[in-house]
Amino acid sequence: MMAQRGLLTLLGTIFVSLIFFFPLTACAADDQNTTPWHTYNDGVHIYNFNISWVRANPDGMAERDVIGINGRWPIPTMEASIDERIIVNVQNHLEDESTTLHFHGLFLQNETHMDGPAQVTQCPIPPGGSFTYNFTVHQPGVYWYHSHVHAQYPDGLRGPLIITEPNAPFQELYNETKLITVSDWYHDRMPGLIKQFMSKGNPTGAEPVPNSALLGETQNLTVHVTPGTTYRIDMVNIGAFASQYIWFEGHNVSVIMIDGVYTHLTETNMIYLAAAQRCSFLITIKDDETSNFPFVASMDLDLFDQVPEDLNWNVTGWMVVDQKKSLPDPAILYEPFSPLDDTLLLPWDNQTLLAEPDHTVTLNVIMDNLGDGANYAFFNNITYVAPKVPTLYTALSAGDLATDPTVYGTNTHTFVLKKDEIVQIILNNIDPGKHPFHLHGHNFQVVWRSDDEAGTFEDSNITAADFAPIPMRRDTAVLHPNGNMVLRFKADNPGVWLFHCHIEWHVQSGLIATFVEAPKVLQEVIKIPEDHFATCEKGQIPIKGNAAGNSVDWLDLDGENAPPPRLPAGFTKSGIVALVFSCISGILGVATVSWYGFAESEEERQAQQGLGINEDNSLSPGDEVQQVSFGNSGLRGGEGNHAGALLRQAGGVIRG
Ligand SMILES: [Cu+2]
């Protein structure tokens, strides 16, 4: 009996030790360049990625399950030189979720089938499945890789991808390069958050607010530097939602690259980096710098419908000149911030405005409710729903009909592009939120961007004379609240490329369109590897046919995947919910006021009772009760948020 108990205790101790010490050893064990999971030979990098759940606690406030690679998190930084090949052997060891990898910003010429979005260029890799990505890289700079299925990457499957080149512009100006990631962070896993977000209990579509911000996937980032030295800092926002203001105390920086596009040297004291954007800049550590100095990333609160009381929206890192000295708190900065306007940047290659467009696509960004009561995101009248057959496989199997957008289905919102035509995207934001728009397979010229609240492009009376003669070029650009933006690119990269907002919540709620570029060329150059098709077979996903899986009558979309039905015109479900809540709030308010009001005069009481609902049941602006009711317009970036924020100091920064 005693022996048995002793054995059990021993086994228990070993088990507990393993649980506690395995992650530590896994984290501390290796150097990324010498691991068995990354080999390099003759211009080919082979990465072996086992994707699985691990435990992590990056902000020190909540240990949680995160998606790691090869038993560790943060996941590795991928690296290659220009024109080299990258092979990634993925094994999905997540027992409960499928996955994919997308390589953000890479053009993948003639390799669109390696782009990664599920049901677009491949089938999702099911639990237990494996999949190989194999592509060459021809663009220098900072990129990143992340999951591109069911809003999964904020659970940790996101990391940098760096492509170096032998003769980089500006390299004579700096001594060393440092990579710094910035992101938001949630304490809860995405599936649960999505359920709350996309529900009739959230008719206004309020996005879950992150729990914290991270620099270098931690809140204790120190970067060792030498006074008088110039560093190139490669920064990438790998977050899910929040844009970040970034500054280095007492130092200006000089921008040299955004989203893989070199720019003319441009000095600034603050950078704004939206989700998925990258920026490389030079910083010269002051020669007289005698103490360590902080740098700060501060989440843009305008994006949040409300700022939780306990949220610290800032994260501080430190440039360390002397390890023995302290890490000082950052000085307090007050809003409004004025970061560098990225449309003022000039590409290093001075590429001029592309010719007049052959093909113009106008997309209005609209948030609205559907019959299930949840809030969806629309381009015009379409909220994206993935097709039954991955769009690329439809393009490859549809023969001559591949040029007919019908076969891709209504809800993929597909535009078929001709080879080498100039495409112009006009974006009108019919929403008070900021949206960072990203195009796969290309970067684009931002030929025009309005200020906030400028209305639609048409209403702005902008002419070609207002367009930038040498437009800034990048792959992710922020559309301003209720403003407009015009993008141009040349359709010189046959493929199936998504265009979407990079706020992961809005990917989930449907803010996606699809470009099928030169499908007849694709049919000649793309050969899908067997393991890609085998992945579909495992998930019982058809590899041929139109969006509805019909390969007999290609123009019959009967049975295609569709969003919930629309609500009857004139009355929305959220309106009904809102009305009910308003009435209840109103009645409670009146009751409360009456109860308190015994000591008040009759006039005062009548004035109070007037709050709430107007005679015609409409709601008057600017009152708490009504904001709760019709928050879609009322709560976003409201002044009230900032008034509350002003009272608090967090991480040394006060925002007013
Ligand atoms: Cu968005």
436 C-alpha to center of ligand 1: Å? 6
Alpha-carbon distances, residue 328 vs 233, 297, 316, 642 (angstroms): 21, 15, 10, 26
Q: Is the pLDDT of residue 80 over 70?
A: yes
- Give me the chain's average pLDDT, please: 86
Encoded tokens for 489: 């690119």
Q: Is the pLDDT of residue 114 over 90?
A: yes
Q: Are residues 35 and 142 in the same domain?
A: yes
Q: Is the pLDDT of residue 353 over 50?
A: yes
Q: Are residues 529 and 599 in the same domain?
A: no
Using an 8 Å Cβ cutoff, are 36 and 71 in contact? no
pLDDT of residue 288: 82
The pLDDT > 70 percentage for the chain reads: 81
Using an 8 Å Cβ cutoff, are 298 and 213 in contact? yes
pLDDT of residue 29: 34
Which structural domain, as residue segments, surrounds residue 60? 23-166
Which residue among 136, 166, 196 closes a domain? 166
Q: Is the pLDDT of residue 18 over 50?
A: no
Alpha-carbon distances, residue 128 vs 50, 124, 447, 534, 541 (angstroms): 10, 12, 45, 13, 16
Q: Are residues 500 and 626 in the same domain?
A: no
Question: How far is it, in rounded angstroms, from Cα 312 to Cα 217?
Answer: 16
Q: Are residues 488 and 405 in the same domain?
A: yes
Tell me the pLDDT tens digit for each residue of 211-247: 999 999 999 999 999 999 999 999 999 999 999 999 9
Partners of residue 176 on adjacent β-strands: 231
Which residue among 514, 538, 562 closes a domain? 538
Q: Is residue 151 part of a domain?
A: yes
Mean of the pLDDT values across residues 268-276? Answer: 98
Q: Are residues 604 and 503 in the same domain?
A: no
157 C-alpha to center of ligand 1: Å? 20
Tell me the pLDDT tens digit for each residue of 375-434: 999 999 999 999 999 999 999 999 999 999 999 999 999 999 999 999 999 999 999 999
Identify the DSSP state of 209. Answer: P
Which residue among 166, 200, 229 closes a domain? 166
506 C-alpha to center of ligand 1: Å? 5
Question: How far is it, in rounded angstroms, from Cα 564 to Cα 370?
Answer: 6
Whether the pTM exceeds 0.75: the reply is yes
Q: Are residues 438 and 582 in the same domain?
A: no
Question: How far is it, in rounded angstroms, from Cα 62 to Cα 40?
Answer: 37
475: Cβ contacts below 8 Å, ≥ 6 apart: 104, 105, 259, 260, 276, 438, 439, 442, 443, 444
| Weakest-pLDDT range from 128-142, 542-556, 563-577 | 563-577
433 C-alpha to center of ligand 1: Å? 7
pLDDT of residue 575: 55
Tell me the pLDDT tens digit for each residue of 147-202: 999 999 999 999 999 999 999 999 999 999 999 999 999 999 999 999 999 999 99
265 C-alpha to center of ligand 1: Å? 30
509 C-alpha to center of ligand 1: Å? 9
Q: Is the pLDDT of residue 20 over 60?
A: no
Q: Is the pLDDT of residue 92 over 50?
A: yes
434 C-alpha to center of ligand 1: Å? 7
Query: Angle of helix 573-596 relative to helix 602-609, nearest 10 degrees?
Result: 170
Q: Is residue 519 part of a domain?
A: yes
Q: Is residue 416 part of a domain?
A: yes
Question: How far is it, in rounded angstroms, from Cα 606 to Cα 584?
Answer: 18
Q: Are residues 577 and 532 in the same domain?
A: no
Q: Are residues 487 and 578 in the same domain?
A: no
Q: Are residues 363 and 501 in the same domain?
A: yes
545 C-alpha to center of ligand 1: Å? 31
Q: Is residue 616 part of a domain?
A: yes
503 C-alpha to center of ligand 1: Å? 5
Q: Are residues 29 and 94 in the same domain?
A: yes
Confidence of residue 645 (pLDDT cuts 50, 70, 90): very low
Q: Is residue 63 part of a domain?
A: yes
Q: How many structural domains are present in the chain?
A: 3
13 C-alpha to center of ligand 1: Å? 49
Tell me the pLDDT tens digit for each residue of 586-628: 555 555 544 444 333 344 333 333 332 233 333 233 222 222 2
430 C-alpha to center of ligand 1: Å? 12
345 C-alpha to center of ligand 1: Å? 23
Using an 8 Å Cβ cutoff, are 178 and 229 in contact? no
Q: Are residues 495 and 409 in the same domain?
A: yes
Q: Is residue 596 part of a domain?
A: yes
127 C-alpha to center of ligand 1: Å? 29
292 C-alpha to center of ligand 1: Å? 37
pLDDT of residue 389: 98
Q: Is residue 489 part of a domain?
A: yes
207: Cβ contacts below 8 Å, ≥ 6 apart: 197, 241, 303, 304, 305, 503, 505
Confidence of residue 24 (pLDDT cuts 50, 70, 90): very low
422 C-alpha to center of ligand 1: Å? 25
286 C-alpha to center of ligand 1: Å? 39
Mean of the pLDDT values across residues 255-276? Answer: 98
Q: Are residues 494 and 615 in the same domain?
A: no
Q: Is the pLDDT of residue 632 over 70?
A: no
Q: Is residue 297 part of a domain?
A: no
Q: What CATH number is attached to the domain comprising 511?
A: 2.60.40.420
pLDDT of residue 21: 34
